[in-house]
Amino acid sequence: MPTPKPIHVLSDYVINKIAAGEVVERPASVVKELVENALDAGATQIEVEAVGGGRQLVAITDNGCGMGRDDALLSIERHATSKILDVDDIEHVATLGFRGEALAAVSAVSHFTLTTRAAADEAGTEVTVVGGKLSDVKDTGCPAGTRIEVRRLFFNVPARRKFLRADQTELVHIRQMFIVYALAHPEVGWRLVVDGREAMRLAAGASLADRLRDIVGADLSRQLRPVGIKRHDVSVHGYAGLPAAARQDRTEQYIFVNGRPASAPAIYHAINEGYHTLMPPGRHAPIFLFIDVDPEQVDVNVHPTKKEVRFRQPGAIRDAVIEAIKHALQPAPAAAMPNSLLTMPPPLAASTAPTATQARLLIPDLPPPRTFAFPGLPMLPPAPPATPIGPGAALPPAAPTAQAAPGAAAAPWLWCRVLGQVGGLYVVLETEDGLVLMDPHAAHERVLFEQLLKQYTSHAVKSQGVLAPETVELLPAAAEVVRDNLPLLREMGFGLAEFGGDAFIVDAIPACLGGVAAQAVLAAVAESLSRGGARGGDAHWVEEAVAQAACKAAVKANDVLRLDEIEQLVVALASAAMPYTCPHGRPTIIFTSYGELNRKFGRA
């Protein structure tokens, strides 16, 4: 057996190094901690400087309130803070920092220099710390505010230093941390300097829309829709991306709770639910969400770096986020469009804006291929000039004119010409902006899904009797699910009655599903109900069931469609609330702009 070793108290030197390991993981961690202090100090201008990927130097300069000599000396002590006074204050923390560990931890593993001056003081204070030991304190001349320089990070912790990545990799992490806080506080001016050269400058007093354009670019900005909702004590605002901009990771998802970059399982679950039926599993739309809630309802003291928060009532947060996202992705009325990131084009003059009748007269009605307009839909002006979207992206929606009826859905195109079917499946369309490939099965799924779901939610489902009642035999598990959900299925428009054992008599199906086989659609609905039941919520069960029913009823691959059938499907899809994906998240249309075609053929 090993010999027992005596227990002893660690020295402050070792304790500080251990604490530094929790708080300071890499140079980007230093940026995070010091930027949070600058924001808590009321800074309106913050400069971040990095040399050698942050190994040689990380410096943060702000124009905040600054500190006097005594406070400057206390700030480098462990658990010294101005943010809280006693344990009760932790229950309603409204600042980004409060633990009093950052400066002590950073100064313990670096050559640390703090230069600060309060606005009321004539002279500033410069404090130098090397490896956790106070080296020098002196008066100095400096502007009001604070500048902290961290040199030779981890010089006395070689084990941690060797785990740092290449300078370029560490710089990527610093830049990402800079972007996160610049997004969280668009009212603050920011400047990033890398190896002596200015890498980014962001003006103070910006709106969130302006800050997003500056950081993520105009192309992605056009794929964002405004989010804004308040439910009880929870406020959610920001921007949610269209499914067309989705990617395979969450790197474009930014969550802020009371101005603090943070994460929580409840929020990510809510985001997934908000995009349910719009994207396939494993895809994540860009989103920039700001959640404001009473500080007493949030526990930010979960981790030393405050990466994750917990909510006292996660259900309220989850429901508010889901509702906000779903509302944002609905078609916006014309009056609401200026609040989005889209640049509104100037209205067309009355003499140049074609009506639906004029469009039909101007375009000859010839045998296939032929061009047709959309009866009953508002005619739209040409889209504003923008950087063309590459192949593989869903078609961007056009912005409606100011004269469009409130609540009218914006069609994805002004006019289109059906060129035919290729591969026995895909429909080729020409529009005013480019070439569109449409998957008829996915498009038909979306149309049927919205029709049946709308009828269900308005309690106006139309049933269609079958010519002869059909006996459907199901597997025992599926039959049990159907028996448990008979009222729900009848509300969806199915005429069902038990026939003994695992058999059912079907004498009616939802009218919008047409002549689909009762056996196939009922089995699919039973399967979706069994999966959805574990996730809870009648609304979710209905969506799953309707999606499966629409899938079974939609046109299939190798179904050769007549021209009038294609036209009817295109018109129905153009008027759908979300025409770009099927209920399972697959794209219905893929768009290639004329600009992209010109570039590929060397005509750009």
What residues are paired with 371 via a beta bridge? 417
Lowest mean pLDDT, pick from 207-221, 225-239, 347-361, 531-545: 347-361
**pLDDT score for 290:** 95
Tens of pLDDT, residue by residue over 217-265, are 888 888 899 999 998 789 999 999 988 788 888 889 999 999 889 888 8
The crossing angle, in degrees rounded to 10, of helices 208-216 and 167-184 is 160
Distances (CA, A) of 36 to 20, 109, 129, 295, 497: 17, 19, 21, 17, 64
In degrees, to the nearest 5, what angle opens at C-alpha 549 toward C-alphas 544 and 551? 95
Tell whether the model's pLDDT for residue 126 goes beyond 60: yes
Contact in structure between 411 and 381 (CB atoms under 8 Å): no
**pLDDT score for 203:** 95
**pLDDT score for 376:** 33
Annotation: CATH topology of 356-401+408-439+560-600: formyl-coa transferase, domain 3 (3.30.1540)
Give the confidence band of 557 by pLDDT, cuts at 50, 70, 90: low
Tens of pLDDT, residue by residue over 165-212, are 999 999 999 999 999 999 999 999 999 999 999 999 999 999 999 999
Tens of pLDDT, residue by residue over 46-55, are 999 999 999 9
Phi, psi of 438 (to 5 degrees): -120, 135
Cα–Cα nearest to 581, from 254, 329, 325, 389: 329
C-alpha atoms less than 13 angstroms from C-alpha of 538 in its C-beta half-sphere? 9
Tell whether the model's pLDDT for residue 395 goes beyond 60: no
Q: Average per-residue pLDDT in the chain?
A: 78
Tens of pLDDT, residue by residue over 315-342, are 889 889 999 998 888 754 433 333 334 3
Specify the CATH class of 12-206 in words: alpha beta
Tens of pLDDT, residue by residue over 134-164, are 999 999 999 999 999 999 999 988 888 888 9
The crossing angle, in degrees rounded to 10, of helices 440-457 and 538-553 is 140
Tell whether the model's pLDDT for residue 77 goes beyond 80: yes
Q: b/e map of 406-443 (b: 16 or more CB within 10 Å)?
A: eeebbbbbbbbebeebeeebebebbbebbbbbbbbbbb
Question: What percentage of residues in the chain have a pLDDT greater than 70?
Answer: 75
Asked whether this chain's domains 213-335 and 356-401+408-439+560-600 adopt the same fold, the reply is no
- Mean pLDDT for 506-534 is 68
Specify the amino acid at residue 445: E
- Mean pLDDT for 362-387 is 38
Cα–Cα nearest to 272, from 262, 260, 285: 285
**CA dist., res. 366 & res. 352, Å (int):** 25
**pLDDT score for 360:** 36
**pLDDT score for 338:** 35
**Containing H/E element for 288?**
strand 287-292
Q: b/e map of 563-577 (b: 16 or more CB within 10 Å)?
A: eeebbebbbbbbbbe
Give the confidence band of 66 by pLDDT, cuts at 50, 70, 90: very high
Question: What percentage of residues in the chain have a pLDDT greater than 90?
Answer: 31
Tens of pLDDT, residue by residue over 452-469, are 878 777 777 777 777 778
Residue showing tokens 């999966």: 531
**pLDDT score for 604:** 67
Which comes out higher in pLDDT, residue 358 or 413? Answer: 413
Phi, psi of 412 (to 5 degrees): -70, -15
Lowest mean pLDDT, pick from 56-60, 122-126, 353-357, 591-595: 353-357
Domain spans of the chain?
Answer: 12-206, 213-335, 356-401+408-439+560-600, 443-553
Which comes out higher in pLDDT, residue 107 or 350? Answer: 107
Contact in structure between 599 and 387 (CB atoms under 8 Å): no
Contact in structure between 277 and 547 (CB atoms under 8 Å): yes
Lowest mean pLDDT, pick from 35-39, 51-55, 360-364, 411-415: 360-364
Tell whether the model's pLDDT for residue 402 goes beyond 50: no
**CA dist., res. 498 & res. 503, Å (int):** 6
**Into which CATH architecture does domain 213-335 fall?**
2-Layer Sandwich (3.30)
**pLDDT score for 17:** 65
- What secondary structure does DSSP assign to 385-417, as a single string? P-PPPPTTBPPPPPPPPTTSPTTPPPPS-S-EE
Tens of pLDDT, residue by residue over 3-36, are 777 887 777 667 666 666 667 889 999 999 999 9
Tell whether the model's pLDDT for residue 39 goes beyond 60: yes
Tokens standing for residue 147: 């500048």
Which comes out higher in pLDDT, residue 535 or 313? Answer: 313
Identify each DSSP E strand in 189-271 by its residue range.
189-194, 197-202, 224-231, 234-241, 253-257, 260-261
Phi, psi of 31 (to 5 degrees): -60, -45
Tell whether the model's pLDDT for residue 516 goes beyond 70: no
**CA dist., res. 359 & res. 339, Å (int):** 30
- Mean pLDDT for 530-541 is 48
Tell whether the model's pLDDT for residue 403 goes beyond 60: no
Annotation: CATH topology of 443-553: Ribosomal Protein S8; Chain: A, domain 1 (3.30.1370)
